[in-house]
Amino acid sequence: MLNHLRERTAEALRRATEVEQLLSDPETVKDAPRLASLGREHHRLAEVVIKANRLAKAEAELAEAREMANGDDADYAAEAKAEVERLDAECAALNKALLPLLIPRDPLDDRPAIFEIRAGTGGDEAALFAADLLRMYTRYIERRGWRIEGISHSDGTLGGVKEAVFKVNGDGAFGLLRWESGVHRVQRVPATESQGRIHTSAATVAVLPEAEEVDVRIEDKDLRIDVFRSSGPGGQSVNTTDSAVRITHLPTGLVVSQQDQKSQLQNKAKGMEVLRARLLDLRLSEQELERSRMRKSQVSTGDRSAKIRTYNFPQGRVTDHRVGVTLYDIDRVLGGDLSDFLDALSLANAEEKLSS
């Protein structure tokens, strides 16, 4: 794998030089879309160049330190051995950091993400856990400086959440959050449990790339749109006008209901946004299913039927079953610190792609 890494690094450095030359070409400046595309590529490659230069310097220093460690002077040799250990660790860390940067980027990664959280098996406890996940992701998203745009929300009893759908706007939002798709399982004593028994409940998470109209062509004849009166908390129009919308995509049977907005037009627009995202996800899932017949993936590709993570409250433990990472700090994880899991998943995906 190290040879693959070096080859990819050399290719990236050559491309970085080429992109710099293209950006200074007067013909490029005249082509705004190409200029913007090259600018984004230059931004991504700049990090590769910085880390590759640091790695080259560290490897040169490591070779020199190894020579000194094998020398006759005992004092110099002892110092050099300590330096060898430090530089070895630095080179390993830089190689690890370079790996995800060298994998061809999925164009969808830069898109906003449509996030869907739903209570699964477990009744009220599942809805309470869905609310915990919603808070966890909200805090993570806010920490990154991204923006949340609500689409729909359905409350459960006892302060829980039946369903929450929202859009995450931010640089690389879908690329980073896509690994959260799947079944999240919780093990704890519910607030309603009088005997102190531990229950297991679940919530499902779906993370979809925002679909543009050019991605998914939806014919009017393929849609059935029903309107009905909104229910639950809301503005003055609730229960007085037929502002809620239910959109059924006839060829696939997908159904989207939307009632959180004030007008029928706004609800239809939001509903179509979610429908496009689900249709794009369906198409991508079918493509991934075809690819998975030919290879076994190390990292779950987002199958919502797959149990991906367990949150065990009695032991204060959170385990990601795809990469075998376990943290005994459940409060920190539920507080929005997901970096250990997301970094491990990104690295596992990069290693898989590099070796394939």
In the predicted structure, residue 160 carries a pLDDT above the cut 80: yes
Model pLDDT, residue 177: 93
Model pLDDT, residue 143: 95
Distances (CA, A) of 132 to 59, 197, 342: 45, 20, 18
Tens digits of per-residue pLDDT, 211-246? Answer: 776 567 788 888 898 888 776 544 444 445 678 889
β-partners of residue 154 are 163
Model pLDDT, residue 294: 38
The answer to whether residues 158 and 189 touch, using CB atoms and an 8 Å cutoff, is: no
Model pLDDT, residue 265: 87
Model pLDDT, residue 85: 92
The answer to whether residues 233 and 227 touch, using CB atoms and an 8 Å cutoff, is: no
Tens digits of per-residue pLDDT, 3-13? Answer: 778 888 898 99
More confident residue, 306 or 48: 48
CA nearest 205: which of 312, 308, 333, 343?
Answer: 308
The answer to whether residues 204 and 118 touch, using CB atoms and an 8 Å cutoff, is: yes
Distances (CA, A) of 160 to 47, 62, 115, 135, 313: 42, 55, 17, 11, 18
In the predicted structure, residue 303 carries a pLDDT above the cut 50: no
Domains of the chain, residue spans: 2-101, 108-214+300-355, 220-289
Model pLDDT, residue 288: 63
In the predicted structure, residue 313 carries a pLDDT above the cut 90: yes
What is the enclosing helix (H) or strand (E) of 200?
strand 199-209
More confident residue, 210 or 104: 210
Q: How confident is the model at residue 290 (pLDDT cuts 50, 70, 90)?
A: low
Model pLDDT, residue 22: 93
Residue with tokens 């959050």: 177
Options 3.30.160.20, 2.60.120.260, 3.30.465.10, 1.10.3980.10; CATH of 220-289: 3.30.160.20
In the chain, the percentage of residues whose pLDDT exceeds 70 is: 89
Task: Indicate the residue type of 232.
Answer: G
The answer to whether residues 58 and 50 touch, using CB atoms and an 8 Å cutoff, is: no
Whole-prediction pTM: 0.68
Model pLDDT, residue 157: 82
Residue with tokens 């929300």: 153
Model pLDDT, residue 356: 61
CA distance 2 to 131: 43
Residue 137 makes CB contacts below 8 A (sequence gap 6+) with 115, 117, 180, 336
Tell the CATH topology of 108-214+300-355: Alpha-Beta Plaits (3.30.70)
The reply to whether domains 2-101 and 220-289 share a CATH topology is: no
What CATH number should be reported for the domain whose range is 2-101?
Answer: 1.20.58
Tell me which range, 55-69, 188-202, 218-232, is most confidently predicted by mean pLDDT.
55-69
